[in-house]
Structure 1
């Protein structure tokens, strides 16, 4: 497991078949490659575990659900292959969620940016707090949300996705995300959110697991080409991150946050 300074991913299982996968990183729960790989691995592992009936996906802290890609790692990318490999990490997580036979419930307690919006979209059901505003900021740094776009568009539709992408500097509220289908329910505070997560996952864990697995297949119909599609999208992002525009934007961001 990575050190605390580099973040970590943990998992636990309850006696009634509820698995909880939690990630954290000191930089607003951003996701470097090692955490993306761990997330994908644990999602796959819990999906294959016959004792697990439902999966909760959550992050640490109370301010930010996920700030997306690790800018520290992005600025170190020097070739297309490394860039494609980094963005493939998000593809692996989305595809792990898609292929899991278990229903995945996301708990979004705070802001979601970029890849964090993709994580929320990759869940089968998403519960959020009123503080969980969202933003796709990729255009502002010279890339685009290419890897996560199939997952986000699947939830919110093309028009709302276009708004999120083009208004790259603007946060949309949790209520906006609810109205457009990214969040299924929004709660006033974290305590209410956590109670709702417990109530929902306990109900799901009591249902017929074969019925849940069948539902999961229906929910993801038409996405069978995503292994190839998201790999192609990762290559596009991996090339764009090398541009002078993007490298300068990343340096400005990092300088302003240190």
Structure 2
């Protein structure tokens, strides 16, 4: 499928989605959100793809936010539809995808950009990255899950400070508070992210998929039961048989 605002590359069971709107610092507009959503559907159904990386083009910006021009004249009804559609079609889709999605945050990740990164399962950042939710400076609040995901990642107090003050934080500060996993020089970021993706891709895709589902429910009443059921289900699947056989035979598994 041909895309206008994103690029897709594939390498050793890893797909890289690059948001390619450098003239607007890769800001998210409706078309870009739709294209990323379609690409995720395509990659989820591709048996050769086991891990997905999302990044931005260039070295200045992952995603600098939503394209404000698109919704500047919206009323309440249209704004609610915008937020609901975006969450359902992209942000929630990423979080619940059955394959790991890693954000390679290269530069600015503001507003919808940070919300996009937070919806990913893992976040690596470049040392020049700046992260924040500046919506209150526009008389708004985050609408793509920011008020829900940020407190779960960094705690309610720090999340409140970031959202209420609208201040940006550095990549190193983001690592200190648990918002990103690792920080690398910009020139190493994508290679390091691919290294992690390659490590994950060597493991059982079925087990990783079950782990995503269980960890996503870790703060709900269904978390423990989901883990128990998923653990049991895997015992009847080929990946478990191959993994255990490989361990007993002292060889690497072939998933």
- Using structure 1 for the length normalisation, give the TM-score: 0.78
Once superposed, what is the RMSD of the aligned Cα atoms? 1.8
- Using structure 2 for the length normalisation, give the TM-score: 0.79
Higher RCO by CA contacts (8 Å cutoff, separation 6 or greater): 1
Of residues 81, 84, 94, the one that matches 1:85 is 81
How many residues end up aligned between the 2 structures?
216
Partner of 2:101: 104
Residues 1:214 and 1:2: Cα distance change in structure 2 (over 3 Å): closer
- Whether the 8 Å CA contact 1:67–1:115 is kept in 2: the answer is yes
Shift of 1:113: 0.6
Q: Which structure has the larger Rg? A: 2
Partner of 1:120: 117
Does residue 1:24 correspond to 2:23, yes or no?
Answer: no
1:72-221 maps to which residues of 2 (within 5 A)?
72-77=69-74, 79-91=75-87, 92-148=89-145, 149-168=147-166, 170-187=167-184, 189-221=185-217
5+ residue gaps, structure 1, are 225-258
- Whether the 8 Å CA contact 1:48–1:100 is kept in 2: the answer is no
Q: Distance in 2 between matches of 1:119 and 1:166?
A: 19
- Whether the 8 Å CA contact 1:37–1:89 is kept in 2: the answer is no
5+ residue gaps, structure 2, are 221-255
Partner of 1:66: 63
In the TM superposition, structure 1's runs of 4+ consecutive aligned residues that sit over 4 Å from their partners are: none
- Whether the 8 Å CA contact 2:14–2:194 is kept in 1: the answer is no
Q: Distance in 1 between matches of 2:141 and 2:50?
A: 35
Deviations along 1:23-71, one digit per CA (max 9) or x if unpaired, are 1222111111111111122123212322211111111111011111101
Q: Distance in 1 between matches of 2:28 and 2:210?
A: 31
